Amino acid sequence: MHRLRVRIGLRPLVFVAVGAALLSAVAISARPDDPPTFGPWSAPVNLGKVVNSSSAYDACPTISRDGLSLYFRSDRPQHSEGGFDIWVAQRDSVDDPWERPVDLGPTINGPYHEYCSTLSPNGHWLVFVSDRPVSAGGCGGQDLWISYRRDKRDTFGWETPRNLGCNSVNSAAAENGPNWFEDKATGRVLLYFSSSRPGGQGVTDIYVSEATGDEEYPFGPPVAVAELNTAFSDYQPALRKDGLEIFFASGRPGGSGYVDLWTSTRESTLDPWSAPVNLGPVVNSAYYDFHPTLSLDGTMLIFASERGGPSDGWGDLWMTTRVRVWH
């Protein structure tokens, strides 16, 4: 069994829950000295036929920290283990084009559906969504599962995944859109995700769960991120590396189509999120625009969209960029 570790300075420490007193003590350091500012987002471009399939629904992109691996879910038939599988496209450098995607293989993918995923910053852990039933270790609906690999450069080195727990992270409803976030300011390890569990504000809400250091279930019970949720569907969050900016999909009023991409900011990782703002008609379309993933430097946003229609298998991956503004 592998212990979830957090590296602080040069020493790897087993993570334990951060109490209220400790959070108060680190509050003064939870805000970066010079948070980045950016220009506007560009008009999105399709990632192209090498990555996207014209006969399949491609969605749920997640880009690795080094920008060289792009994970996503697809129901393309080639070498697929089930209906929807997790696939990965790779490239040699951030300036190179993406290579043809490959199925992640039977250790992660199975006879059921696998959907959205997220990587830990160190590249050793993968959290992903699967609808495998109770008879196969599920909790009902869609659950979050976790897998470990010793070598972060081994694309197919994932070990047998385990469920994140029916009495902690998962519920009998549907969990989706995980995003792993390590808060450098406080040392906290957090898992943001969306869920349709009872008791939320809307159809689907955004939650956050904190790592506890437990070997079997490394994340504790989730808490709703109330300032981001509405009576509509709010889901699939993605945070900037400093935790001061978040992007997510929402069906709330004020958008361009059925579901749009929205964003929110905060002054520090201990502050509540600001009122969400729609990314606007340059990025969003009259169709479904959802599941964003952000590059490490915050200048590239890849997301799924149905704007291509049936000729592109409905779902494709698109990319928008922005420029860092230096003062």
Predicted pLDDT of residue 9: 32
Output the domain CATH number for residue 158. Answer: 2.115.10.20
| Residue 33 maps to a domain | no
- pLDDT 10s digits, 183-229: 998 999 999 999 999 999 999 999 999 998 766 668 999 999 999 99
Residue 309 pLDDT = 85
More confident residue, 98 or 77: 98
Q: How much of the chain exceeds pLDDT 90, in percent?
A: 79
Residues of the domain holding 105: 5-27+38-325
Q: Is residue 91 a contact partner of residue 110, using CB atoms and an 8 Å limit?
A: no
Residue 93 falls within a domain, yes or no?
yes
Reported confidence tier of residue 30, pLDDT bands at 50, 70, 90:
low
pLDDT of residue 216: 61
Q: What is the 8-class DSSP label of residue 200?
A: S
Per this entry, what is the length of the chain? 327
Helix (H, G, I), strand (E, B) or coil at 169: helix
pLDDT at 3: 46
- Exposed / middle / buried, residue 96 (Cβ in 10 Å: 0-12, 13-18, 19+): exposed
List, for residues 104-154, the tens digit of each pLDDT value. 999 999 999 999 999 999 999 999 999 999 999 999 999 999 999 999 999
Answer for the pair 145, 133: CB distance below 8 angstroms, yes or no: no
- Percent of the chain at pLDDT exceeding 70: 87
Q: Is the pLDDT of residue 10 over 60?
A: no
Nearest-angstrom CA–CA distance, 316 and 307? 8
* Spatial distance between the Cα atoms of 222 and 190, rounded to a whole number of angstroms: 10
Number of domains into which the chain is organized: 1
* Integer angstrom CA distances of residue 174 from 131, 133, 139, 223: 8, 12, 9, 15
